[in-house]
Amino acid sequence: MSFEITILGSSSATPTLNRNPSSQVVTIYDRYFLVDCGEGAQMQMRKYKIKFAKINHIFISHLHGDHILGLPGFLSSLHLMNRSNDLHLYCHEPLKEILEVQFKHSETYLKFNIVYHFLNKAQSEIIYEDDKVLVETIILNHRIPCCGFIFREKPAMLSIRKDKIEAYNILPQDIPNIKRGNDYITEQGKVIPCKELTYPPKEPQSYAYCSDTLYDESYAAKLMGIKLLYHEATFLHDMIKRAKETYHTTAKQAAEMAEKCKVQKLLIGHFSARYHDLEPLLHEARQTFPQTYLAKEGEVFSLN
C-alpha cells in the first residue's frame, strides 16, 4: 500500500501490560519512517513484521523517556545486524549527547553513520523531501521543546488515457509532457486538449503526528485539511487540570482540534496508564468529532 501508519506504541509515560510507549512507522511508497522510539519499539517492529533494514529515517518529537528510551537498543541492534548504510536522525540537538554517552560507556562503535538533522525548536520547517514525500515540523507546546511532524504525499502527475494513446497515435516520448499538463499537437497540427487525454490524479494524502502538547491553537493552521491527524489524548476531560499541569491534552480537546482544522479522521493516543479501558476516551472524543479512532498497538491505518 502506498501510505500507511502502523501503531507500535500508544501509552504515555509508563508502559502497561498491553500498551507500549509512543512509536509508529509511517510507510509511504516503500519509504519507512520511524516516528518516536519508546521502550520496546524494536520488539513491536518484529511482532508486526517491520523490516529493520527498511528504516533509514527516524523522527524524534522530543526527549522525554517514553519517546526515546527504545532508541539506543534499536541502534545497537542495527549495529549487531551489520548495518552499513547511513541512518538519518531528525531530533533536538541534546539527543546526540545522550546517545554518545550511552555508546561511549558501553564501548559500542557503530558500524554505520548517524546523520543528525537538528530540529528548529522555534519555527516550523521542511526537514525531509524527495520526489514523492515531504515532511515538515509542527511546533508544539510541551514542558520541553517538542515538534510534531506532517507527512505529505506530493501531487502526482496526470494519468494518461490508454484509449487516447491509440486514437491519436501518441508516441511514448510525448506522454510525460502530456502528464505534466500540456496539450498534444498531432502530426497534422491539431491541438488536443490535455484534459481530453488524461484522468485527474488522485488527491495527495497527508498525515500529521502531534506528540505531547497542551491544546494550543497556534499550531492549528498547520493542520488545516489534513487527511489523518494523530493527536495526543492523555486524559479524559474531567482531568483537565492535570492535563494543563503536565502540558498534555484531553480526548475532548483533541477532538476539538480535529473539528477546528477540518481534518478527515482523528487518531487519539498517548493514553495515561491509569486508563485500562480506552473506550471512555474514544466516546468522549466522538461526542465532538465522530470520525475518531483509537491508536492501538498493531493497528494499521491506510490513506490509500
Write out the catalytic residue numbers. 66
Using a 10 angstrom Cβ sphere, with 0-12 exposed, 13-18 middle and 19 or more buried, the burial of residue 131 is exposed
Measured in degrees and rounded to the nearest 5, phi and psi for residue 6 equal -105, 125
Instruction: Print burial letters for 263-280: b (CB count within 10 Å at least 16), e (below 16).
Output: bebbbbbbbbeebeebee
Q: Say if residues 201 and 155 touch (Cβ distance below 8 Å).
A: yes
Residue with cell 506522454: 175
Cell representation of residue 154: 506530493
Determine whether 82 is exposed, middle or buried from the number of CB atoms within 10 Å of its CB (0-12, 13-18, 19+).
exposed
Across-strand partners of 232? 269
